Amino acid sequence: MNASPPFPADSEVRIVRTTSAFNCGGRCPLRLHVRDNVIIRIEGDDAAEPDQLRTCLRCRAYRKHVHHPDRLLQPQKRVGPRGEGRFEPISWEEALEIAAGELERVKETYGSASILLAVSGGYLGSLHEGARATGRLLSLFGGYTTHYGNVSSEGPIWAATTQLGTPLTGHSRDDLLNARLILLWGYDPARVITGTNTMYELVRAREAGARIVSIDPRYHDSAAVLAHEWLPVHPGTDTAVMAAMAWVMIEEGLCDFEFLDRYTIGFDRFRDYVLGLEDKTAKTPRWAAELSGAPADRITALARAYATIKPAALMDAHGPARSAMGEQFSRMAITLAAMTGNIGRSGGGVGGAFMNLPFGHMYAAPMIPGVRNPVEAGGPSLRGSLDLNLRLQKRIHTNRIFDAILEGTRGGYPADIRLAWFLGNNFLNQLGNTNKAARALKQLEFMIVSELFLTPTARFADLIFPVTSAAERNDLTRGWPSGLYYTAVNRAIEPLGACRSDLEIAMALAAKLGLEEFGTFDEEDWLRTFVEKNPETATPIPDSGAFRRKGIHRLQPAGPHVAFKAQIEDPDRNPFPTPSGKIEIYSERVAAMNDPACPPIPKYLPTPEDRLDPASKSYPLQLVSPHPSNRVHSDMQKIDWLVEADPHRIWINPADARTRGIAEGDAVLAFNDRGRLSIPARVTERIMPGVVCIFEGAWFDPDENGLDRGGNPNVLTPDTYTRGGASIFNTTRVQVQKA
Amino acid sequence: MQIGFYFDQTRCTGCSACRVACKDWHDIPAGPENWMRLIYTEQGRIPEVFVAYTIAPCWHCLDPVCVLACPAGAISKREGDGIVVVDTQACLGNEACDEKCRKACPYDAPQFGPEPGARMRKCNYCLDRFEAGRLPNCVEACPVRALDAGPIEELERKYGNDLQAEGFKYFERTRPAVVIRAKRP
């Protein structure tokens, strides 16, 4: 094309290079076109290919989020009954006065442990990640109770820590081009972004000749584009299919015995389990077929393919691990990868759905320094332990927050919660058992929510602090959860209305409470420290000013990153970071927990509400609630451009629809003992019979009869967790009928 | 010279990034007016299911039947680049002419807003971007690089051409300016 004239031609338009800070799984350079404090258009990264980091549909609609007419622009005080959602705007002075008064009252009356700070990943920037400033504030104030357990990924994290010694199991995405076989196990990267450009890298891997198999109850869009083969498997039975694959490999002598001898411990015990020497049940393909619905011959073929086509990347995702089978699924995947020698080798890998690299990781991001939380003083030492129960002596499991509010210390929880502050989350909507959560929130004495929108959680607040979006802040962001680049958030517009950042709110409240130790560093002071004083970034980023103007600094690695390469190449010098220095198929640390629900080798275990649980027979369908395609969990839910891109519907197979008299587009009810919701039906062969799918994040919207008209699947999911800490969402039984 | 689009159906995940980017660039509200659409195809029975998406912008046909259909002469094909443009001011509105352009077009490219008497608008190949030497916004938005744009001869040379694909039919009477790589069941 011709030489380019200046663009855009409008001299009143500024272009701001920045990123958003959603918990979306990507991190994408954006160019925001701004005129008169309004973002009027959005362009993406303009780096030359192949380095261009392309944003998805969500941030293509980012300006509709920032400038949404429903944004809360003023502090809000509840009027009317809790949960009804009626508020009146108040001044910051009044809001801070009320918050300080309630914090002081609750601390004096009940003690600091009665204050709950509930935080999550609704905003993922170094500085304004709300837990830091607010946690510092509350620690200085005397302490607070908080929660433990990453709702998304605790099972895979626990499993990788158990068997490999670290959750950093990822290969960089360019290494996919070296794979000859790729297994997408419960993984839909076209929809759940897991590293910007991941779907593109998979497309390229396919075009370079990799064979791709999708194992999933759904024929999702990733499978439709990538997979040569779809193996439908009932939710929760993936682990049985994997055990049967191990049986085939053992029976047919297809294991990489040299690898097992050299790099692992405990394979003999696992082999005994698989062959049935331990429990008299051989884990044959026929056994797994009965459980999973996958034909035995296809399980056998998959085992042979995985054992012989090398290298093979096992991209086991977090969805199947957000189940009662949680960590067993992820442990079984690691075991299979070890049996085929696919660990530490280019083109191989396990746990590959999420790109946990040892550089540019969010968890290593510089943040406001923490202050020791006095409420947690005297807790047990956690060093080296895998026992979740130790962590839960002082904290509440995240998926039990609402049960803890209801039951308190008499229910075995560490505190009786009277005041809760929800920040960077919509937990009422996003944790299990929404109706119970609503009951719990009605019981609180006081509730603060920091939010941009009147979410289902915020509707229950007594006080809402309106916070700024990333477009109104300066900050630092990173690849999600890691990546070969660092990014900057640059303030594109001045804060809308009276919105403030979480840091500003914490500072103002610290002043109100007389906590001078909080400090006076403002946004710029912190950010300068974060870039220039941080050893991780100070060397690669010599000019922090240029970095922030450009909004990105890319690392230039010599080649693809391969996890555990050093351990495989020179195991004597580089042991795995486990107690034995090897891949622990059998874990002594887990054995010491002495819990049949969490055996020292990975196993398929029967669980409540699994496919065969007789107690759930009045609810014959299994429910899965994967990530939505057109919002970030429950963020961006109200953006009409995104809503029309993929209307909220329940997926149901024609066989299940027919017996219920349900046709495409019909309103249906989905229900179980925990709740009821209504939603339109999508009748499709893309989901296996016996399973239905409702995408998570839809906003809870109960009518006067308690029927959720928003179609939030969490009115149906349990609020429980596994022994490894996985929140259980995808082990849920329901019934569906025509409305 | 005739400009056109390239679409790699084997790569398209149906994600709608192109659609949303189009709405953003041209500031089109949610609703019936969609300059870029997605056509969905699903066939077969579990586990042998075939799914394909097809983009549907304006294909800037070599023989644009919409131009002939418009009673007000509001639609024209540009000399030099072949972009089919509409003079929205000259359009009579959909009530006056009963959407003759939309009915003539086999690809549903002419679009109308929800208001009574809405005037026709449609994909203009991001004319402002084109004149500044830029690619259409949908092309730059595609996360899997399934789209390209440029002189049609160049695209054909680069990508070859399947004239038929699921959800797309090549009409000789309009000759759409598109190069497709089709996905096969």
**What is the structure's pLDDT at A131?**
85
| CATH fold for domain A155-353+564-593 | Dimethylsulfoxide Reductase; domain 2 (3.40.228)
Question: What's the pLDDT tens digit per position in A13-54?
Answer: 999 999 999 999 999 999 999 999 999 999 999 999 989 999
Cβ atoms < 10 Å from Cβ of B73: 11
A322 contacts A730 by C-beta, under 8 angstroms: yes
Say if the Cβ atoms of B19 and A57 lie within 8 Å: yes
Task: Please give the Cα distance from B39 to A417 (Å, whole number).
Answer: 52
Cα dihedral A93, A97, A103, A108, rounded to 10, equals 160
Helices A92-110 and A502-512 meet at what angle, rounded to 10?
60
Q: Among candidates A75, A57, A74, which has minimal Cα distance to A65? A: A57
Helices A238-251 and A285-292 meet at what angle, rounded to 10?
170
Q: Highest-confidence range of A251-260, A375-384, A477-486, by mean pLDDT?
A: A251-260
Mean per-residue pLDDT, A402-429: 98
**What is the structure's pLDDT at B105?**
98
Token pair in block for residue A201? 């890298």
Q: How far is CA A527 from the centre of its chain?
A: 26
Task: Please give the Cα distance from A283 to A299 (Å, whole number).
Answer: 12
Quick one: which H or E segment has residue A397?
A: strand A396-397
**What is the structure's pLDDT at A256?**
98
**What is the structure's pLDDT at A251?**
98
Task: Please give the Cα distance from B60 to B54 (Å, whole number).
Answer: 16
Say if the Cβ atoms of B51 and A224 lie within 8 Å: yes
Least reliable range by pLDDT among A237-246, A280-289, A350-359, A678-687 = A350-359
State the amino acid at position A265 in one-letter form.
I
Token pair in block for residue A632? 């970030």
Number of domains into which chain B is organized: 1
pLDDT at residue B69 greater than cutoff 60: yes
CB pairs under 8 A between A and B: 121
At residue A16, φ and ψ (nearest 5 deg) are -110, 125
Token pair in block for residue A90? 């108040």
pLDDT at residue A359 greater than cutoff 90: no
Q: How far is B32 from chain A (nearest CA, A)?
A: 10
Mean per-residue pLDDT, A382-395: 91
Least reliable range by pLDDT among A540-544, B58-62, B115-119 = A540-544
Query: Over pLDDT 90: what percentage of chain A?
Result: 92
Q: How, if at all, do strands A621-624 and A732-738 pair?
A: antiparallel
List the domain boundaries for chain A: 76-151+388-554, 155-353+564-593, 614-738
A98 contacts A127 by C-beta, under 8 angstroms: no
Q: Among candidates A72, A115, A120, A171, which has minimal Cα distance to A557? A: A171
Q: How far is CA A398 from the centre of its chain?
A: 13
Task: Please give the Cα distance from B107 to B97 (Å, whole number).
Answer: 19
Mean per-residue pLDDT, A636-660: 98
Task: Please give the Cα distance from A601 to B76 (Å, whole number).
Answer: 71
pLDDT at residue A1 greater than cutoff 70: no
A365 contacts A179 by C-beta, under 8 angstroms: no
Task: Please give the Cα distance from A512 to A501 (Å, whole number).
Answer: 17
CA angle, residues A120, A122, A128, in degrees to nearest 5:
90
Please report which confidence band the pLDDT of residue A6 belongs to, taking 50, 70 and 90 as the band edges: low
Token pair in block for residue A87? 């508020």
Mean per-residue pLDDT, A285-312: 98
Task: Please give the Cα distance from A146 to A373 (Å, whole number).
Answer: 10
Token pair in block for residue B60? 């800037």
* Span between the terminal Cα atoms of chain A, in Å: 56
Cβ atoms < 10 Å from Cβ of A240: 28
State the amino acid at position A509 in one-letter form.
L
Instruction: Find the chain B residues whose C-beta atoms sit closer than 8 A to any C-beta of A.
Output: 10-17, 19-21, 23-25, 27, 29-31, 42, 44-47, 49, 51-52, 128-129, 131-134, 137, 140-145, 150
**What is the structure's pLDDT at A5?**
60
- In CATH, what number is assigned to the domain containing residue B60? 3.30.70.20
A213 contacts A226 by C-beta, under 8 angstroms: no
Q: Among candidates A189, A194, A336, A346, which has minimal Cα distance to A254? A: A336
Question: What's the pLDDT tens digit per position in A491-541?
Answer: 999 999 999 999 999 999 999 999 999 999 999 999 999 988 888 888 888
Helices vs. strands in chain A: H and E counts, helices first: 25, 27
Name which of A60, A299, A683 to mutate to probe chain B: the one with the most chain B Cβ atoms within 10 A of its Cβ. A60
A199 contact residues in B (CB cutoff 8 A) = 13, 143-144
Token pair in block for residue A471? 């477009």
Question: What's the pLDDT tens digit per position in A185-230?
Answer: 999 999 999 999 999 999 999 999 999 999 999 999 999 999 999 9
Name which of A203, A229, A636, A686 to mutate to probe chain B: the one with the most chain B Cβ atoms within 10 A of its Cβ. A203
3-state secondary structure (DSSP) of residue A720: coil
A686 contact residues in B (CB cutoff 8 A) = 42, 46, 49, 51
pLDDT at residue A571 greater than cutoff 70: yes
pLDDT at residue A4 greater than cutoff 60: no
Neighbouring residues of A225: CB distance < 8 A, sequence distance ≥ 6: A190, A199, A203, B10, B11, B12, B13, B144
pLDDT at residue A55 greater than cutoff 50: yes
Average pLDDT of chain A is: 96
Question: What's the pLDDT tens digit per position in A682-734?
Answer: 999 999 999 999 999 999 999 999 999 999 999 999 999 999 999 999 999 99
Say if the Cβ atoms of B24 and A642 lie within 8 Å: no
Q: Among candidates A733, A729, A616, A714, which has minimal Cα distance to A186? A: A729
A190 contact residues in B (CB cutoff 8 A) = 13, 15, 144
Q: How far is A102 from chain B (nearest CA, A)?
A: 43
Place of tokens 């320094």: A369
Of A385 and A79, which is predicted with more confidence? A79
A93 contacts A74 by C-beta, under 8 angstroms: no
Nearest CB to B13 within list A61, A222, A630 = A222
Say if the Cβ atoms of B141 and A199 lie within 8 Å: no
Say if the Cβ atoms of B133 and A5 lie within 8 Å: yes
Burial A540-554 (b: 16+ CB within 10 A, else e): ebeebeebbebbbbb
A576 contacts A165 by C-beta, under 8 angstroms: yes
Please report which confidence band the pLDDT of residue A363 belongs to, taking 50, 70 and 90 as the band edges: confident
Q: pTM score, two decimals?
A: 0.97
Task: Please give the Cα distance from A335 to A599 (Å, whole number).
Answer: 14
Helices A296-308 and A238-251 meet at what angle, rounded to 10?
60
Give, in words, the CATH class of A614-738.
mainly beta
Task: Please give the Cα distance from A244 to A230 (Å, whole number).
Answer: 18
**What is the structure's pLDDT at A630?**
97
3-state secondary structure (DSSP) of residue A337: helix
**What is the structure's pLDDT at A3?**
46
pLDDT at residue B11 greater than cutoff 70: yes
Q: Which residue range is the domain that position B12 belongs to? A: 3-181
Q: How far is B119 from chain A (nearest CA, A)?
A: 21
A719 contacts A650 by C-beta, under 8 angstroms: no
Question: What's the pLDDT tens digit per position in A134-173?
Answer: 999 999 999 999 999 999 999 999 999 999 999 999 999 9
Place of tokens 């009932």: A234
Average pLDDT of chain B is: 97
Say if the Cβ atoms of A221 and B23 lie within 8 Å: no
CATH of A76-151+388-554 among 3.40.50.740, 3.10.20.30, 3.90.1300.10, 3.30.70.20: 3.40.50.740
Please report which confidence band the pLDDT of residue B171 belongs to, taking 50, 70 and 90 as the band edges: very high
**What is the structure's pLDDT at A370?**
87
pLDDT at residue A2 greater than cutoff 50: no
pLDDT at residue A8 greater than cutoff 90: no
Query: Over pLDDT 70: what percentage of chain A?
Result: 99
Question: What's the pLDDT tens digit per position in B82-120?
Answer: 999 999 999 999 999 999 999 999 999 999 999 999 999
